[in-house]
Amino acid sequence: MSGVTVSEAGPVAGLIQIAIPAKKPETCAAFYQDILELPKLFETGGMSFFDAGGIRLMVGPAGNLLPGAGAPIYFGTDDLRTSQRILSEKDVEFHPEPLIADPSQTPPLAIWFFLDPEGNTLALMGPLRA
């Protein structure tokens, strides 16, 4: 990959892409584009690629990966309640209450979990304003 070099800090240069397995890639890609409103970068070979704050999300055929079996993906927000309300209005179902991740911050840093159409765990993470 051009631009990526091995440095004295270690053999990797950071996170560049996350694969999201989908049994129905078109439906799942529509969720990331239309509901989460992530910018689509390109499509190729039945896969859709989105920009998630500088990290590529690849939504594509599950192959040997099991949808819903991966690590949660956390999306940042500067207002957790407002982001949750906007997505709920688009029929995204959230866990009943957010979890407080860091109560020492003011407002506290919290996480609110939800699922994509394939059952992959996603979360919003940001300040929980009153």
Return the closest-CA partner of residue 65 out of 123, 17, 117, 20: 20
Total tally of structural domains belonging to the chain: 2
Q: Is residue 1 part of a domain?
A: no
48 and 95 within one domain: no
Question: How does pLDDT run across 34-62, given as a tens digit for each residue?
Answer: 999 999 999 999 999 999 999 999 999 87
54 and 26 within one domain: yes
76 and 48 within one domain: no
Q: Is residue 106 part of a domain?
A: yes
Report the predicted TM-score, pTM, of the whole model to 2 decimal places.
0.85
Query: CA torsion 98→104→109→113, rounded to 10°?
Result: -30
Question: How does pLDDT run across 76-125, given as a tens digit for each residue?
Answer: 999 999 999 999 999 999 999 999 999 999 999 999 999 999 999 999 99
Is residue 75 within 8 Å of residue 34, measured between CB atoms?
Answer: no
- Helix (H) or strand (E) segment spanning residue 126: strand 121-127
